[in-house]
Amino acid sequence: MAKKKIKIDKSLCIGCGACAGTYPDDIKMDDDGLATPINGVADEDAVDVCPVGAISVEE
């Protein structure tokens, strides 16, 4: 799957770590316990991993 520019809405993130666990090269858990993109891009399927819809693809 192609990497796309992503956005993580920290106001929605619950810090479950599913995204960082599934895509550790693209997403990490920040010091605040919430997800953050490492390089601003991730596999497009990362959107589907988030149980609360905090990850979106920027067009």
pTM, two decimals, is 0.90
Under CATH, which number does the domain 3-57 receive?
Answer: 3.30.70.20
Please give the pLDDT value at position 45. Answer: 92
Residue burial 22-46, b: 16+ Cβ < 10 Å; e: rest: bbeebbebeeeebbbbeeebbbeeb
- At 4-54, the pLDDT tens digits run 999 999 999 999 999 999 999 999 999 999 999 999 999 889 999 999 999
What's the sign of the alpha-carbon dihedral 28, 34, 39, 44?
A: positive
pLDDT band at 59 (very low <50, low <70, confident <90, very high): confident
